[in-house]
Structures are given as structure tokens and as C-alpha cells.
Structure 1
Amino acid sequence: MRFVADLHIHSKYSRACSRDCDLEHLTWWARRKGISLVGTGDFTHPAWYDHLTENLVEAGPGLFRLRGDLDRDIDRTLAPSLAGAPVRFMLSVEISTIYKRDGHTRKVHHLVYMPDLESAARFNARMAKIGNIGSDGRPILGLDSRDLLEITLECGGYLVPAHVWTPWFAVLGSKSGFDAVDDCYADLAPHVFAVETGLSSDPEMNWRVSGLDRFRLVSNSDAHSPPALGREATLFDTDLDYYAVRRALETGEGFDGSLEFFPEEGKYHVDGHRKCGVRLEPRETSAHNGICPECGKPLTVGVLSRVEELADRPSGSRPAGAAGFTNLVPLPEIVSEIVGTGPKSKKVLAEVDRLTAALGPELVILRDVPVDDIAAHSPLLGEAVTRLRRGEVVRDAGYDGEYGVIRLFEPGELERRNSAFALFDTEPAAGAVVGTRPAESAVDSPIAPRPPASPPAAPTAAAPTAAAPTSAAPGGSALLDGLDPEQRAAASVESGPLLIIAGPGTGKTRTLTHRVADLVTRRGVPASECLAITFTRRAAEEMAERLAVLAPGHASALTIATFHSLGVVILREHHSSAGLSPAFGVADPDQQLAVARTVVDDDKEARALVAAGDGRYKKALRARDLVDFDDLIALPLALLEESPDLVDAYRARWRWVSVDEYQDVDEQQYRLLRLLAPADGNLTAIGDPDQAIYRFRGADVGFFLRFREDFPTARTVHLTRNYRSSAAVVTGALDVIAPSSLVPGRELHPMVDHGAAPVGVHHAASESAEAAFVARTVEQVLGGASFHAFDSGRVSSDGTADLGFSDFAVLYRTDRRSRALVDALTTAGLPFQKRSHDRLADRPGVARIAAELRAATGATVLERVRAVAGDDHTAYELLKPLAVECGDDFERFHTSLALGVEVDTWDPRADRISLLTLHASKGLEFPVVFIVGCEDGLLPMRRPGDDDAAAVDEERRLLFVGMTRAQRHLFLSHTATRPRSPFLADLKAFEQIGAPQPKRRKKGTQLSLL
């Protein structure tokens, strides 16, 4: 059977969409239009998916229809000529993906189709691991297009690139797309067999690009309200089922072409600048070098220019076997032109009601009804349809988000004809069948369609970066040639103790790895004599990867370890001295509690034993040939302190010791290092005392500051060239740290050009307003994450080029500040993840206590903590890092605890904004950083009666660390709920955003003057 399909629509759960976008109204309008197959749209949205499952029933392979009672109610509101026509639904959704590929930001929309609700549910579950699918019917995901296609195929569906030429959000778009569909989907491109041409192009334009020959060119309405159904559509001659439609798209058999806008009516047909009212043809754009002649800003390059850019055939070309198409103008627009009122006016709606009741569905009137029958109702309408079918229209092209205008009559022509005859007969023509539902009575029906809202308006490079020095080929003296003078000075120190004071972004890891590589490749130091110690597994892995490249013939013999993995090495080698077997194990939190329960019967006491490292608990561990996390430092330290011979053996084995992040060592780690490295030995310590922020973990920056006392012959080298941050960020960070810097004469010189964007300081009325500012600014810097961002005026430019969601981080002092951010980003539909310290989950007992806290009900948070931990002190000691950070706020403690230990179930391919504490940001960097909650009492955090100057100084260092995570843009924010942070008073140059308004003085009254 031949039928019309519109497979790209949206529900009421999509932004800027009519509340009438439900199944009943869609069915009503599909019958009115003459459409047999409609996409459901938005099936990833939880509420809409539930609506679909409750109101659809299966109707043929892979398709659905509205359940019977609702379907019958709809037919009662339609004219007899429209009632009863079959309307089927296919599960569909539009997915927006924003991600980085090959150094460029890509923003591509896709249509995904599924054959059944079970497949859709599986797909939804996969999408939920990537981003927020509940805030918008068209979810915005930080996922590569190729990976989206892979997930679609794995769930049994197929994918069609949406409106492929749209500049801002399309596979071939001029702003953020590709030059070929195959480039977008990479190795999976053969599984894409159709593309949607969009409103601003038609097949004839697409035929000029030979790379599109293998695709079926489909069209759909992308309707945001039911009356917009069928403004573009696709024709099929197949059975009415999902699999037949898919086969037609794959093979071309049964694919009958499309119904199209005149492409000039699309919002992005030609080039232009909406704000300036400038509209240009491609040749004019070239003459102006793509710049608006009015304001000097870049023009929005439209579809016509983009097609011209990629075309390899002349106009008028048509590939062999290509299906045809028909250009149409929606019937309400034609009637609107004739009667001289808007297409949504009551006069137009009433006339269209009368026409469809008499002549059948709108698409049938436009394409098939004899002109004489149409002229019987209105000679002018008959003339208009005649011209339409011949393609004789007047075209004013759309540009930069402005719809174009297609007219059937020349200016003034209707006025000249107006006096000759009525525009429309006021009575139906003889023999016409009149429907029972005049437009004025529509409001009486519970599902009667309301006039749709006006179509939303649509939208109207970063400076080059100086990269850090690059290395020459590995090996030999050339290995250090790529370092800057300061890095080279540090890396080439021949021997003896060395302290490297490395400011943020100065290439700390680069310098350390090049130094080690130079030792083993040029200076003949055996790789087996080199030990490099870091604080995290991630840092150790990064160091190992770099050394594998720099010293490929030596890397395998190097010892690269964390303090704890070094402890494992020593214990494995001297297990018997520690009372262990060669195969001893490291107890996880559950094992630790299980062992403690063998010592005491009470769970609370068992947790207290673990927290305190009680001797009875330790003895029980040893009896089971187990150690815990703390033992990995304490036991090796005890072995070395008790055996000078063992100390000598390890000193002879590792004659060259390097320690990263030396400012973060605690007392036991310091003692261990002093035993491994003699005062005149080859110890290289690298770090920055102004980034010492882990005192609550036991770290003591004093060990860094006394390095010259411990190692009197040590040389000191400063790294001051920052290759990470813009000049504004570097200057601002130096301003903030200056009052309490631990580096005399602190210097930091920016070496990259990220543009002149100043540090932004934002004042908000509340936490929710602050969070809304973050979400709004993310979209502005990103250059828009959705059409709605342009339509609403929130975004009006490309923003900063080549950014993805993972390039944004929002930092805060405590996790409680994240709550408003989560709400705001969810509302904006932006994908995000909350990140925390990876060390927290490793602490003994944390996972079990977290699980019990989450399971507890019917008590206050404080009571829950007491119930599962025994008392406040035990909970505090067990989770000391988190407890210190959260202070006395046990609700925040509970929330942060759950965050810190929950398993990350995100799909690793997902690209998301990072929400994390300032402490957790250490070691990371992002092009765009927000630091929220810059308020006294929070940053610096102050407890009642707390006047610890050292603690305040560390809080200042914490802000310094957070600020220097930023590469291009840095925003500091505070609210009116607390005084702003005193640290901000030291910031000399910034841009005030949302400055607080001065309070108005009350007018004096007679009483106030007395």
C-alpha cells in the first residue's frame, strides 16, 4: 500500500514543544493531514515512555496504534471523511550528541528507531548510563556519533542522521559537522542507509553531492506541535510495518520519495545575520569573506553555501534510480495568504476545517484533488494549488534562524483580484460534505487541538595555543632538547639531592620522567637502580606510559610505584620478618570487619577496632595471613627501622629515588623515604608547597620546607613557566596565593595564548541562581547545546571553539554545594557526573558503613551514623578525610559518603561536565572551570571558634589549586547567603558578572528626623 510517513516528531516532554504533543492529538492531526505512519518521538524520556506503554497497542510487525477507546473518541471529533483512517506509530527518538573528535567540537543530531518497547527499554538503559535522559525528550549526550550508532545496532534498531545540513547541529553542518557522513560514523558507516534532508534542502540540492548517492533521502516534519505534522514527509509503497519500512530504506524497493518544503522556506537556506537583517547568497558571502557587512561578526553559513562547498556535480544533476519528490506549501499558509490573516487565525483554521471536511486530508488536497473541485470552494485557492503543483511560487529565502516565505501570488495581485470575486465562498459548494465539527467548537472536546504555539525562532575560535616544548627523538642527549631551560636545568642535574619547586602547569611530570629517562639512556644509570614514587595509581600509570616512550629499552626495569604498592613489594620480599606467608593478602573493607567480628561480638565494637587499628584486630588479621591498607606503610617502615642491613640493601638497590608531590607526604611516608635515601644520596623531590592541601589526611608541608635541612647539599630548581592557563588565570591565581605563599618570591609566567578572557566573578542571589548561572554560561561558552538555546536568546554565537562537555568542571568546597548544580544542569539537559576522591572508597569499613547508612530509615542522619558506627567519634575517625571536609553537617557527610563509595556505572565513552570538590580537582585540568561558593565560612571553611591561621592558609592554597585547574576560562562565584570570601579581595583584575545592586536608602519620614 502507498502511504505517507512522518517519522520525526516530538512529544510534550521536549523543550519548546506544544503541550498538545500527546498521542491523541497526534492521531487526530495525522488523520486530518492524511498521514498513516507517525514517529512517537522522545521514547527515551521516562514519562513519555510510560505514556506510550499505557496508551499504545501492537498493530502489525513493529508498529503500534492508539488503544481502542481513545481512538474511537478521536473519530467522534472528526468529519466523516477523515475518521477511521489507519494511523500507526513507530518508536522514534531524536538524540543530540555533542563531543570532541579530531580536536573539533561535533554537534550532531540523530533519529533512532526501535521495533518494540523491549528494545526501546534496553536502549534507554544504555542511554541512562551516558547522560540525563529525563530532562528533555531530545536528550543531549556527550557521546560520539559512532558509539551511538553502535549502541543502536546492539539494541536492534536503526539510525538516520537528522536534518543533515543544519549549520549548528548536523552531520554535514557548517558549524560543527563533518564533510562526509561516513567520516562521522567511521567503521560503522555502512549501517547508515538513509539521511534526513531537513527543511532547508530538498533532494535536488543533495543530488549534487555524490557521497550521498547510496542513501535514501527522507524528509520529516520535526514537528513541535501537532498541526506541523506532514509539513515534510516520506512516501512508501510497502506493507505498513516496521520491517518493511526499514527494508525500503535499505534497498530502495518500496521507497517512493518525499514531500518537501520549498527549501527556501527553511530557516537556514541562505547565509546571513539575523540581528543585522543581512541575507546573502553564497557568492555574496564569499565576497564579504564570511563576515557580516553591518557588524563585522561571522555570518551564519546556510545550507545552500554548504551544499555548494561539498558539491561535486552541477545543479540539475540526478543520480540514476533516485526517487522523486514534490515541493509543497502547507494548506494553512496558502489560505493565510489568500485571506490576509495569519495561518493560525480563527478565520484560516475555520476555512481549512471546511476544506478538509469536504475534500479530504490536507496532503490529498494539495497533491491529488482535482483543481476544479478545489476551485468550486475558492477560485483563488484553485489557482494557488495549480501554481503550487507547477512549482510557480515566489520565494524569499530563510536565513540564520528566520523562516523563509513562499507565496503563490505576486505582491498586489490579490488586491487586484479581490474586487472581482469573494476570496472564499461563505457557503459550501453544492454537493460538498460538511463536517460536524466547526473550528469554533474545538474547545468543547477534551482532545480537540488547540492552535499551536508560534514556531520557535532559531539561531542567528579560540586563539592558537603555544604548546609546551615537545621532545625530540628518544634517547641520547637529544632527549632533553625539547625541554624549556628551567625543565632542562632540573632534568640534567648530575647527582645528589635535588628539590624541584614546580608551580602549577609547569610540566612537573614531564620534567621528572625526562630526568629518569636521561639517567638511564645517556648517563649510564642502570634502570634497575631507579625508583619513582607517586601518590596514585593513575599517576604511576601515566609515568610508566611516558617512560615506555622516552626510554623504551629500559622502562621495564624501572620501579614505578605508589607508596602503598612499594610497601607491598617490600613485604613480599621480607614477608617472613613480618609474620606473613609469600602469598599474604590485602584485606578489603568487608574482610576487615569480618576479621574484627571474630575478636568481638558487637558490630559497633568491631568497627571501632578496625578504625583504631587495635592490636587484637591486627593479630587476627595476621592469623589469616592478611594485612590492611594502613599496614602497607607501617609494616615496611617497621622492618627497615629495625634492620640497618635491610636499609643498606635497599639503598644499594635503588640508588636513584624520585618522589612526586613531595608536599603531600605524611609522617610515616617521610620516615620511609629518609631510610631509603641517605642525606647525600640521589633523591629528587618535586612538588609545590603552595599546593599542599591534604593536612586533614596527615600530610605535612613542613617536610617539604625542611628539605634543605634534611639534605644540606641539595640543589633547588624552580619551574615557573606555566603551559596550562591563560595570562588572566595565572595573574589571578598569583594574586590570591600571594598573602600566604610558601614560595618566597613566587613567580609563574604564562606561556600559552588562550585569548584575553578575564577571570569572571559572579554574584548571585542564592545557590539556585548561582547554579543557573553555571548552566547558562556553559551553554554560552559551548556555543549552544540545543536549538532552544538559540531560540531563547541564551546563546547567539559559536562560543569558544573546540570544546566538549568534558572540558567543563564545576568545583566546590563541600559536596552540599553540588545539589543546586545538579538541579540546574538537569533542567538545562546538560550531561554531568559527580566525581570524588578515589581514595575514600579504599578506606577500611567505608563501603559497608555507606551501604548501611543508605539502607537505614526512620532516623535522623546523626542517629543513623551512631547506629552503624557506634558513636560520632568512631564514624569521624573511620572517615576522617570526609568528616573533616563536611564539618559538623552530618547530612552533608552522609551524602558525600554515598557519593564517594558508589560504583561508577557511567558508560566510559560518555562525555560529561565534571562536578567535584576542590580537593578532588588536584592533578586535573580543564579548559573551563567554575568555582562556586567562594564565601566566608565555606572558603575558607570555618568552624565555630576556629581561629587556626594555618588552616586558613591551607584554604587559600586550596583556592589557588582550584583556580590553576583552568586553562581558558575561570569563573568564581558567590551568593548573598554569606559574605564573600576574603580571598577574593586580593584579586586585582577581573570582570564582575551580576554585580550586587546597592541597597536603596529608605526615604526619610518625619519620625526618622526627630
Structure 2
Amino acid sequence: MVSRKHTSPPQSPADRILDGLNDNQREAVTAIDGPLLIIAGPGSGKTRVITHRIAYLVRVVGITPYRIAAVTFTNKAAREMRQRLVPLLGQAAEQLTASTFHAFCANVLRREGERIGLDRDFVIYDDADQMALVKRALTELELDPKRFPPRSVLSGISAAKSELLGVEGLAHRSGSYWDEIVVRAYERYEDLLRQCSAVDFDDLLLKTYQLFERVPDVAQKYQERYVHFMIDEFQDTNVAQYAIARQLARHHLNICVVGDPDQSIYTWRNADIRNILSFQDDYPNAKLIALEENYRSTQTILDAARSLIASNTQRVEKDLWTRNGEGVPIVIAEGYNEEEEAQFVIREIQTLTRNHESVVGRKKSGPSLGDIAVMYRVNAQSRALEEACLRYGVPYQVVGGMKFYQRQEVKDVIAYLRLIANPDDDVSLARVINLPTRGIGQRTLDHLARTARDAGTSQFAIIKSLSDGSALDQDAVISPFTARAKTALIGFGNLIGSVAEERENLDLLDIIDAVLERSGYQRWLLDQERGEERMENIQEFRASARDYLHLGRTESLTAFLESVSLVADVDSMEDRADAITLITLHQAKGLEFPVVFMVGMEEGLLPHSRSVDDPTQLEEERRLCYVGVTRARERLYLLRAFRRGFRGMSGGSEPGTPSRFLLDIPQELLAAPTQPKRPSTRSQRSSVSRAGADSDSRPESAGKRQDAVRRTRLPTPPRSDNRERSFGTARSVRSTRAPNVPGQRPMR
């Protein structure tokens, strides 16, 4: 008798897309009509829901990918979204609009901006460019930058733009002398942007909103195109972003927003938590779905996070749970100062990377260095950590250090390219007009800026008029310049003009090479300190331009410069490099690590001293702590220092107070305290003995609230001679209590 193999019937497109999703995820994927609010807790698979929802719309409902837009907040997230869609949609995924909000708006303005007076080749000014322009505006207005700090003025301008306020709108809301100063600076700043044919980041949003409001046929074009509009990380949107989303969804009303009020941590960037909290007021028929099953962390970590955030009032209630088991207890530890705090981190890293068993029961050799992150509230905290890593030979990467595209030599070449694309860019001109030196002195530069301002034109237009006798008042233009200065300016103008004229006949790499050679910049750079190393950065920059060679010769330069302007800090982070990650809590948003150390858990640091007297800001500090806690998959360490020496804390003269957030975590979730370990060397012994003696003599006030916080004293890690990976011998300082047996929380 011949046996026949049983074959299962092929899955339908819907079954393939929904396979592996939990009930709430399925509901979110298949809810396709009308407004939808998805409250997605950390680690709940929201990116998977978004991508599978898009696939469902395309494969099951029959929506063309071209008619779907999905926006998020980093290029990395947008790239991940597109990559996940390729297995689900194949080549059709290329038709989808998946980008950051700013990139989406830049694309709209590049296509349609001329309808509201924008130059098609506008440049996008980054933070440094904006600061340069604000400083120039203050100088021209004769306002003292010490009395009116440019950074604060720029912050005021940015806040106004994010709330869709132009100069007149801000003037109507002005209620103080400072407001009047910001209004005056704002007006001059806008004039300078127009002269430079430039926009800043906030303009990308503001001008897109204005375009849709002022040119109805353009708004209608995009409203009809996008049948479905989705927003990831909705809690981080500002007024302008939400307004644009509402404009685009006006026709079909299929707006889906995904976010978590408990992770709203960017108010200082003008994010408005009210957007997500009031979504159902704006769309009364909106459906609400909560994603509560967590695929990232242990139940112990989730219970700590829930207890921590429960004190906040601006939130939507949810109950995170997981099938990952209870996991190991959370360790709260105290060091005498930030150096001892850092030493504890290194000791634990050495222990964990030598021998570790995953909390879900899978044997492995131990977490790699790339599995470990150390998180902190402010950048200044990285100093002690970096010194400890260097001292004990632990490789590390700092996220949020100098970005590649912010390096001096790279910025120089970018400035040349921006001038070629847009000669009116005064900020770029000021950067490279005398780089390498051309004998153009400061007096000449001052004359050039003043003449351009008086003529109401760009500085390059003045330079051009020196050589071609254009329609500008020649006497007014020529008289301020000596013959030598005039010759130098004309030479620079001819350099930029010649490459610009050849732009249509050169590809992007040829343009870069022409700039490096004709300007003399390459020869000059190689003669500088670390010249060869810096030239390698230029070659890396040149290599990054290859991705744009498939575009037209004119379009490639514009597209490349736009992409450079829109790169975010976290986008340049190496994926799981063989090094621990040092990162601020803000920058850690959206990331996850098997092992997380949170340092600086002290009043005045987390929560920050600027926030403790403001209930609204205090809630954001608690959300920031919540974000840090929920980055951890398996192990979580919360550390504080008895004394901390840098400005903003106690200055070393007064003992610190444990963060109130530590007291929010139930003690049953914490590891039992252990006795200090004896160091193995004399230097280590004296270090810990000194810390112990000091701790025994602490004033009574230093002990307030201490009993409520279990803690581990911090031994010094052994020093390694091999700075690459050899960590020497170290003993664990974790709890002697055995880890809980992995369990499973019942399904609800």
C-alpha cells in the first residue's frame, strides 16, 4: 500500500500576513477604515504591526503602494521599515512613501515649493548653519550676544515655527521684552534665509503646511494620492507635524497613528504630548487598540517599569506583560563617586562577558560587548565611563559624539558643494571663501557682508559683479575693496562659477574631485596635522556619494546634499559593534540591549534639577527613566554616586540624594544587597578602603531614604594589559539570591 503525503493547502495572502501576530496585533493590522490610534508599549512589536498593516493593505485590500505613506522620526527607522516590507511586498515596496517627516516635507517642497516662492535648489541649514545665521542677525541688529544668547534666540524661533507661527504670529503673542527681541531676530533671520535661498529644519514643516493651506490644488493632489497615512512615534510629533498629517488625511480620513504617551521625551524639541492624548477628541470615531504583550524584556523589568510610570497623570493606562519569564532581579548599586560608579560597571561587564546564561534558558557563551549599553542623563556623565573603559581595556562607542558629516573637513567639502548648487548660500561661502587661505582678510569679509546687506543680495552676487560688471551699482560695490582683495574675490568667484557651469556635464564624484583639486583644498589638507587621516574621511565622504550616481547629473548633487542634511545622530550608530555603547537616555529611544546600566540615579540628575519644581517637566523626566528601563531585555542595573563632582550636581561638597524614581520600584523586584568584595591588589584595596571609610562617616542627612533603596557597594575592577578583550579575573558582585525560574504569565 502506497502512503500519500498530506500536504497543507497553500496559505491565503491574508493568512501569510497575519501568521505569527497576536490577537491585538491582528486587530490593528486589519482595522483599515477610518482613524486608528494604536497605543504601543515598548517592545510590543509596533514596527511589525506597521509593516504588516501596509502589506495587508496592498496584498489583501488591493491598495497600490504608491498611495500609502508611512512617516517616522529617524532615517534608520524608515530604512528598517522598507527592509521589512521587501519580503512581504517584493519590488512593490519601492513604490511606498516611507521616510522621516522632514524628508517627506523636503521632497514635497522640492517638487512644489516654487508655488510659494521657494527656490527649487534651496539648501537645508543644519544646527550649526542656523546658529551662524542667528549670530549674524544679532550682529546686524546690534544686539549683544552675551545678553541675548544666540542658542536661546534660535530656540525661541524654532518653538514659534513648530507651532506654525511666522514673525507676525509670534509678534501678536509677544508679552515680554525677551519676546520682542526674539521677534526682531526672527524677522532678520528670515530675511537672511531668503537671501541665501535656504530653509532650516523647522521650515521644512512650516512651509509644507503653508503650501497646503495657500495652494489648494497642491493639497488636493497629495490628499487624493495618499489613501492611507501612517505615523510612527506619534507621541514625538509637534504641532506642525500633526497639522500636516491632518491636512493629508482630510480627504480619505484613513489616518493611523502609533505611539505611547509614556515614551514622550522630546518636549525640549517642541514635541507635544497633547497630540496623542487628544487624538480621539480630534477624531471621535477613531478606534483605539493597545499592544500590551512585550517581546523584549523580562516580567521583572516590565513590573518595575509599570510601577515607575504609574505616578504620571498624562498617560493612557496599559498593562505590559511577557512570555519571557520573570528573569533575574534588578540590581541597584551605589558608588562613592562617579569613578567608583564607572568601576562597578566595568566589573560587571567583565563578569557578564566571561560567563552568562540567558534568562530564557538558552546556553550561550555570554553577551558580547555589543549587547551592553550604559545610559545616562547628560553627556558630561560619559567622561568617567570613558576613562574607565580606557583604563581597563574595554572597547566602547559613544553615540552622539561628533557625527561623521559634522567633521571639519567633511563640512568644508559640503560647503563647497552647497555653494556650487546654490551660490546664494552665504553661510557656506563664509566657511570656505578663505579655506585654503586666499589672502582675504577680515576687513574685506566685513566689507563684503555689508555691501551685500546694503544691496539686498547675496555675497556671491557681489563677488560676481566685480568680475562681470552686472547691474549692481558698480561704484558702491567696488569702492570698499583694495585691488588685491578684489583680485582674490574674483578668483574665488571664478572657482565656484567654473564648477557650477560644468555641473551638468559632470557626475557627482567628478564634482567632488574638481572641488578638491581646483580649490587646492586637498593639497592644503594633507599638509595639516593628521592630514592623511582627515583625507581618509574625505574619501569616505566621496564613497558615500556613489549611491546617488544613478540620478541625473543635476539632481544627484541636490539629492545628496539633502540626504546629508537630514542624517540623525542615531543613524550613524554602528549595529552591534564589538564594543559597549555609551549613550544618553534620549538617544537610546527606540533601541534595545540585553544588558543595560543606568548611571546617575540621583536627585538633580534624574530627575534633572531644572525639572523638579515643575510637575509637567517632572512627568517627562519620569518618562525618560521609563524609556531607559524598558531598553533592557535581560538585565538591568540602576546606579548612583554618593558624591558627584561635575557642575549641576552637588559639586562634591554635599552628599547626593537617591532619585525618587528608585523608590517607585517595589523591593521584591530588587536583588538582595551583598557585602563589598575584597580587591585583589593593593591599589584596589586602598581605593575601596578609602571609599568604605568615607561612607562610614557620612552625615546623618546622607542616609535619608537610603533604607528604602537596596544597594550593592562597588568594588574596583581588575586592570587588563590587553586593551582589546582580555579582562582579567573578576568576581560577581550581583545578588547571592538565585535567579527565579523562568515562568510564563497566563494569557488574558
TM-score range, shorter chain: 0.5 to 0.7
Cα distance, 1:675–1:906 mapped onto 2, change above 3 Å: closer
Whose helix proportion is higher, 1 or 2? 2
Does residue 491 of structure 2 align to residue 920 of structure 1?
no
The residue aligned with 2:392 is 828
8 Å CA contact retained: 1:502, 1:719: yes
How far did 1:841 drift? 8.2
The residue aligned with 2:619 is 953
Q: Residues 794-813 of structure 1: matches in 2 within 5 Å?
A: 801-813=365-377
Q: Secondary structure at the residue paired with 1:920? A: coil
Q: Secondary structure at the residue paired with 2:24? A: helix
How far did 1:617 drift? 3.6
The residue aligned with 1:107 is none
Q: Which one-letter code corresponds to 1:634 in the other structure?
A: L
The CA distance in 2 between the partners of 1:813 and 1:1001, in whole Å, is 26
The residue aligned with 1:300 is none
The CA distance in 2 between the partners of 1:902 and 1:750, in whole Å, is 31
The residue aligned with 1:985 is 663
Unaligned runs of 5+ in 1: 1-471, 786-797, 853-899, 1003-1010
How far did 1:665 drift? 0.6
8 Å CA contact retained: 1:764, 1:994: no
Q: Which one-letter code corresponds to 2:225 in the other structure?
A: R
8 Å CA contact retained: 1:926, 1:966: yes
The residue aligned with 1:434 is none
8 Å CA contact retained: 1:927, 1:967: yes
Does residue 232 of structure 2 align to residue 698 of structure 1?
no
Deviations 1:666-701 (A, max 9, x none): 111121112112397100000100001111111111
The residue aligned with 1:614 is 186
Q: Secondary structure at the residue paired with 1:916? A: strand
Does residue 505 of structure 2 align to residue 967 of structure 1?
no
The residue aligned with 1:559 is 97
Does residue 88 of structure 2 align to residue 524 of structure 1?
no
8 Å CA contact retained: 2:399, 2:569: no
Cα distance, 1:601–1:762 mapped onto 2, change above 3 Å: closer
Unaligned runs of 5+ in 2: 1-9, 158-184, 357-361, 413-426, 432-566, 644-655, 677-691, 700-748
Cα distance, 1:908–1:744 mapped onto 2, change above 3 Å: closer
8 Å CA contact retained: 1:664, 1:701: yes
Cα distance, 1:595–1:806 mapped onto 2, change above 3 Å: same
The CA distance in 2 between the partners of 1:585 and 1:675, in whole Å, is 25
Cα distance, 1:675–1:832 mapped onto 2, change above 3 Å: same
The residue aligned with 2:307 is 735
8 Å CA contact retained: 1:503, 1:719: yes
Deviations 1:781-813 (A, max 9, x none): 11179xxxxxxxxxxxx9973411110000111
Q: Which one-letter code corresponds to 2:308 in the other structure?
A: V
The counterpart of 2:354, out of the listed 773, 783, 796, is 783
Q: Secondary structure at the residue paired with 1:739? A: coil
How far did 1:578 drift? 2.5
8 Å CA contact retained: 1:480, 1:514: yes
The CA distance in 2 between the partners of 1:961 and 1:594, in whole Å, is 34
Q: Which one-letter code corresponds to 1:991 in the other structure?
A: A
Q: Which one-letter code corresponds to 1:972 in the other structure?
A: L
Deviations 1:37-90 (A, max 9, x none): xxxxxxxxxxxxxxxxxxxxxxxxxxxxxxxxxxxxxxxxxxxxxxxxxxxxxx
The CA distance in 1 between the partners of 2:696 and 2:346, in whole Å, is 28
Deviations 1:839-893 (A, max 9, x none): 99889xx9899xx9xxxxxxxxxxxxxxxxxxxxxxxxxxxxxxxxxxxxxxxxx
The CA distance in 2 between the partners of 1:1001 and 1:630, in whole Å, is 50
The residue aligned with 1:492 is 30
The counterpart of 2:213, out of the listed 626, 638, 641, is 641
8 Å CA contact retained: 1:728, 1:758: yes
8 Å CA contact retained: 2:371, 2:576: no
The CA distance in 1 between the partners of 2:620 and 2:128, in whole Å, is 34
The residue aligned with 1:758 is 329
Deviations 1:391-410 (A, max 9, x none): xxxxxxxxxxxxxxxxxxxx
Whose strand proportion is higher, 1 or 2? 1
Q: Residues 307-326 of structure 1: matches in 2 within 5 Å?
A: none
Q: Which one-letter code corresponds to 2:246 in the other structure?
A: R
Q: Residues 268-417 of structure 1: matches in 2 within 5 Å?
A: none
The residue aligned with 2:289 is 717
8 Å CA contact retained: 1:781, 1:800: no
8 Å CA contact retained: 1:768, 1:824: yes
Q: Residues 16-415 of structure 1: matches in 2 within 5 Å?
A: none
How far did 1:614 drift? 3.1
Does residue 186 of structure 2 align to residue 506 of structure 1?
no
Q: Which one-letter code corresponds to 1:943 in the other structure?
A: R
The CA distance in 1 between the partners of 2:291 and 2:670, in whole Å, is 26
The CA distance in 2 between the partners of 1:741 and 1:830, in whole Å, is 41
Q: Which one-letter code corresponds to 2:583 in the other structure?
A: L
How far did 1:958 drift? 0.7
Cα distance, 1:668–1:833 mapped onto 2, change above 3 Å: same
State which structure, 1 or 2, has the greater radius of gyration over its C-alpha atoms: 1
8 Å CA contact retained: 1:763, 1:993: no
The CA distance in 2 between the partners of 1:554 and 1:904, in whole Å, is 25
Cα distance, 1:680–1:902 mapped onto 2, change above 3 Å: closer
The CA distance in 2 between the partners of 1:939 and 1:738, in whole Å, is 17
Does residue 78 of structure 2 align to residue 540 of structure 1?
yes
The CA distance in 1 between the partners of 2:281 and 2:404, in whole Å, is 34
Q: Secondary structure at the residue paired with 2:339? A: helix
The CA distance in 2 between the partners of 1:597 and 1:720, in whole Å, is 48
Aligned residue pairs: how many?
Answer: 467
The CA distance in 1 between the partners of 2:570 and 2:53, in whole Å, is 37
The residue aligned with 1:569 is 107
The CA distance in 2 between the partners of 1:906 and 1:694, in whole Å, is 20
Q: Secondary structure at the residue paired with 1:809? A: strand
8 Å CA contact retained: 2:76, 2:571: no
8 Å CA contact retained: 1:491, 1:515: yes
Cα distance, 1:604–1:912 mapped onto 2, change above 3 Å: farther
Q: Which one-letter code corresponds to 1:959 in the other structure?
A: C
Farther-moved stretch of structure 1 (582-591 vs 909-918): 582-591
Provide the TM-score with structure 2 as the length reference: 0.57
8 Å CA contact retained: 1:832, 1:915: yes
Cα distance, 1:476–1:554 mapped onto 2, change above 3 Å: farther
Cα distance, 1:760–1:840 mapped onto 2, change above 3 Å: farther
The CA distance in 1 between the partners of 2:378 and 2:321, in whole Å, is 31
Does residue 19 of structure 2 align to residue 481 of structure 1?
yes
Q: Secondary structure at the residue paired with 2:310? A: helix
Cα distance, 1:530–1:694 mapped onto 2, change above 3 Å: same
Cα distance, 1:548–1:710 mapped onto 2, change above 3 Å: same
The CA distance in 1 between the partners of 2:401 and 2:390, in whole Å, is 23
Deviations 1:691-729 (A, max 9, x none): 011111111111100010011110000100000011211
Provide the TM-score with structure 1 as the length reference: 0.43
8 Å CA contact retained: 1:575, 1:582: yes
Q: Identity, % of aligned pairs?
A: 37
The CA distance in 2 between the partners of 1:740 and 1:565, in whole Å, is 33
How far did 1:648 drift? 2.6
The CA distance in 1 between the partners of 2:50 and 2:109, in whole Å, is 27
How far did 1:548 drift? 1.7
Greater RCO between the two (CA within 8 Å, min separation 6)? 2
8 Å CA contact retained: 1:665, 1:699: yes
The CA distance in 2 between the partners of 1:924 and 1:643, in whole Å, is 40
The CA distance in 2 between the partners of 1:729 and 1:555, in whole Å, is 36
The CA distance in 2 between the partners of 1:906 and 1:536, in whole Å, is 12
The CA distance in 1 between the partners of 2:112 and 2:122, in whole Å, is 11
